[in-house]
C-alpha cells in the first residue's frame, strides 16, 4: 500500500509539472440547480476540474416548460459538459439517504431554491454539516436568505430592475433597455457564487471547516452598480439613463451606424486616443473640445454620425485601427464565431463529444497556464450517470433496479 501511495503521489507531481492536472481536480460539487446562475457557476467549476454531479428529480421531462430546454429533444443538442447527472427523489427517505451518502465525500453543494425549501426536504446546510463539517454550501437566491423580499419569486430582469441596472440602461429620454444576456444571473450570481465558493475552499484549507454561502443576485447587481450608486451616496449625484459617460453622454464613447447599416463602437476615453480618433476622422479642431457641452458637443455628435455613414463598418475599423482609438465592430452572433481573435484564444472551438463525435462550443473563459481546462465528460440526457454514481457508492445492480422501480431514482 505504501509503495502504491508513493507511486500515486509521484504520478500526480509529474502531471502537475507537465500541466495536465486541472486546478480543481479532486473537488466534488453537488449541483442542485438547473437554470440561470447555478449552472453558470458549476460549469465554471467543472471546467476548472471539479467533479460536478447534477441532481434532479427522477422524471423532470414530465414537467415540460423551461426544464425541457435544458435537454431539448434533439440528437444534435450536446448537453452539459464536464458534469454527470443523477435522478433522485429527495422527497423520499431513500432518496435523501442517497443524497447524504453523496455529501459524505462532497466538497461543495450548490442550491438554487427559495429560502426554506432545502430545510423542508431535510437537506439544508444545518443538516448536511452534521454529516460533513467540511462542506461548503452555496445558496443562490434572488433576494438572499433574509429581508422582506426573501420569499419573492423573480428572474434576471427583476434583479436588474431592483438593483438599478435596468433603470440606467438605454438612451436619454427613452425606455429602459433589457440587456441581451442575463447579466444578473451570470455576471452577478453565477460569477459571485464561483468566487465565494473558491474563497470558502481556501478558508477550509486553514480551518478544516466548511461554511454556508448566501448569494443574493440582487446584492450582486447593486455591487456592480457601485460605480453610479457611490457618487449618489457621497455627493448626491444621481445619474440618469443615457446621460453618463458609459451610456451615451459623449461622442467619443458611443455606437454609430455605418454605410452598410451595421454598427461600430468607439471607446476613446483617454485624451491620446481621442486625439487619434479626431485626426483619423479629419477634424483635429475637435481635439481640444473632448469634454465640451451644449452646442459644441452636439456639433461633434452630428459630424461623427454623418461621417460614419460614409463608409462600411469594416472599412472604418481598418481605418481607425491605424492608430490607437479603441474601436471595434458591433458583431452579430453569426459574425463573432468567426472572429480571428476569438478563434486564436480558443473561445470558439471544436470539442470531442461521445455522441456527435465533435461539437463547436464556446471555449473556456478562465485560462490557467499550468492547469488548463479540458473536456472530461458530457451529460446528454437526464439521469445519464445515475447507475454509475450509485455503484460507486456501493449499491448493487439489484438494489438499483428496485430504487428505479419505486421511482426513487431516474
Which active-site residues does the annotation give?
A: 185
Cα separation, 312 vs 191, in Å, equals: 37
| Three cell numbers, residue 274 | 481621442
Other residues' Cβ atoms within 10 Å of the Cβ of residue 342: 16
Nearest 5°: phi and psi at 85?
A: -125, 145
Torsion angle of C-alpha atoms 75, 77, 81, 85, degrees rounded to 10: -60
| Three cell numbers, residue 108 | 461543495
Cα separation, 21 vs 15, in Å, equals: 6
Amino acid at each position: 500500500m505504501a509503495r502504491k501511495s508513493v507511486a500515486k503521489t509521484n504520478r500526480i507531481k509529474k502531471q502537475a509539472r507537465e500541466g495536465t492536472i486541472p486546478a480543481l481536480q479532486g473537488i466534488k460539487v453537488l449541483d442542485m440547480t438547473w437554470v440561470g446562475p447555478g449552472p453558470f457557476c458549476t460549469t465554471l467549476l467543472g471546467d476548472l476540474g471539479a467533479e460536478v454531479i447534477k441532481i434532479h428529480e427522477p422524471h423532470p421531462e414530465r414537467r415540460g416548460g423551461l426544464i425541457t430546454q435544458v435537454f431539448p429533444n434533439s440528437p444534435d443538442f450536446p448537453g452539459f459538459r464536464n458534469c454527470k447527472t443523477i435522478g433522485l427523489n429527495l422527497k423520499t427517505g431513500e432518496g435523501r439517504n442517497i443524497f447524504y451518502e453523496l455529501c459524505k465525500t462532497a466538497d461543495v453543494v450548490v442550491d438554487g431554491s427559495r429560502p426554506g425549501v432545502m430545510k423542508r426536504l431535510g437537506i439544508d446546510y444545518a443538516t448536511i454539516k452534521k454529516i460533513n463539517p467540511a462542506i461548503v454550501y452555496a445558496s443562490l437566491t434572488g433576494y438572499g436568505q433574509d429581508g422582506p423580499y426573501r420569499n419573492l419569486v423573480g428572474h434576471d430582469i427583476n434583479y436588474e430592475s431592483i438593483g438599478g441596472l435596468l433603470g440606467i440602461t438605454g438612451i436619454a429620454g427613452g425606455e429602459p433597455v433589457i440587456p441581451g444576456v442575463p447579466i444578473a444571473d451570470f455576471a452577478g450570481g453565477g460569477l459571485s457564487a464561483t468566487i465565494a465558493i473558491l474563497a470558502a475552499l481556501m478558508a477550509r484549507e486553514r480551518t478544516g471547516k466548511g461554511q454556508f454561502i448566501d448569494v443574493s443576485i440582487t446584492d450582486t447587481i447593486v455591487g456592480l452598480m457601485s460605480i453610479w450608486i457611490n457618487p449618489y451616496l457621497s455627493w448626491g449625484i444621481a445619474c440618469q439613463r443615457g446621460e453618463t459617460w458609459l451610456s451615451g453622454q459623449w461622442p467619443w464613447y458611443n455606437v454609430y451606424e455605418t454605410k452598410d447599416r451595421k454598427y461600430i463602437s468607439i471607446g476613446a476615453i483617454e485624451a491620446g486616443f481621442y486625439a487619434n480618433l479626431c485626426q483619423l476622422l479629419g477634424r483635429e479642431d475637435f481635439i481640444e473640445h473632448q469634454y465640451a457641452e451644449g452646442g459644441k458637443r452636439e456639433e461633434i455628435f452630428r459630424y461623427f454620425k454623418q461621417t460614419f455613414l460614409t463608409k462600411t463598418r469594416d472599412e472604418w475599423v481598418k481605418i481607425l485601427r491605424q492608430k490607437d482609438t479603441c474601436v471595434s465592430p458591433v458583431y452579430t452572433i453569426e459574425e463573432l464565431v468567426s472572429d480571428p481573435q476569438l478563434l486564436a484564444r480558443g473561445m470558439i472551438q471544436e470539442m470531442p463529444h461521445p455522441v456527435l463525435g465533435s461539437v463547436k462550443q464556446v471555449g473556456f473563459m478562465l485560462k490557467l497556464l499550468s492547469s488548463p481546462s479540458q473536456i472530461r465528460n458530457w451529460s446528454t440526457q437526464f439521469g445519464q450517470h445515475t447507475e454509475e454514481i450509485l455503484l460507486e457508492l456501493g449499491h448493487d445492480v439489484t438494489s438499483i433496479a428496485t430504487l428505479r422501480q419505486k421511482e426513487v431514482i431516474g
